[in-house]
């Protein structure tokens, strides 16, 4: 019952800091759109200091269910 109540609470997270292997510590990041896919978008996280790629994220778009009335 609890899972149903909180299931829609966190739908999308945005990273503000991730570990950068070049800087060797957690650094602030920027998000850059890489690809537009049929079911969503692929974003890349870049270190704000050295611009190294530190991760990716796929943002899926929900498909609307449409009911046709006759």
Task: Give the span between the Cα atoms of 26 and 40, in whole angstroms.
Answer: 28
pTM for the whole structure: 0.71
pLDDT digits (tens, 9 = 90+) for 14-58: 899 999 999 999 999 999 999 999 989 999 999 999 999 999 999
Q: In the numeric block, which tokens belong to residue 68?
A: 């046709």
- Whether 69 maps to a domain, the answer reads no
Task: Give the span between the Cα atoms of 62 and 46, in whole angstroms.
Answer: 26
Task: Give the span between the Cα atoms of 57 and 70, in whole angstroms.
Answer: 41
Domains: count for the chain: 1
Domain region containing 27: 13-59
Task: Give the span between the Cα atoms of 70 and 65, in whole angstroms.
Answer: 16
Cα 6 to chain centroid, rounded: 20
- Whether 6 maps to a domain, the answer reads no
């Amino acid at each position: 019952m609890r899972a149903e109540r909180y299931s829609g609470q966190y739908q999308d997270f945005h990273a503000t800091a991730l570990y950068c292997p070049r800087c060797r510590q957690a650094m602030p990041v920027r998000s850059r759109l890489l690809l537009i896919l049929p079911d969503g978008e692929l974003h890349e996280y870049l270190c704000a200091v050295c611009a190294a790629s530190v991760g990716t994220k796929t943002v899926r778009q929900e498909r609307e269910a449409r009911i046709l009335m006759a």
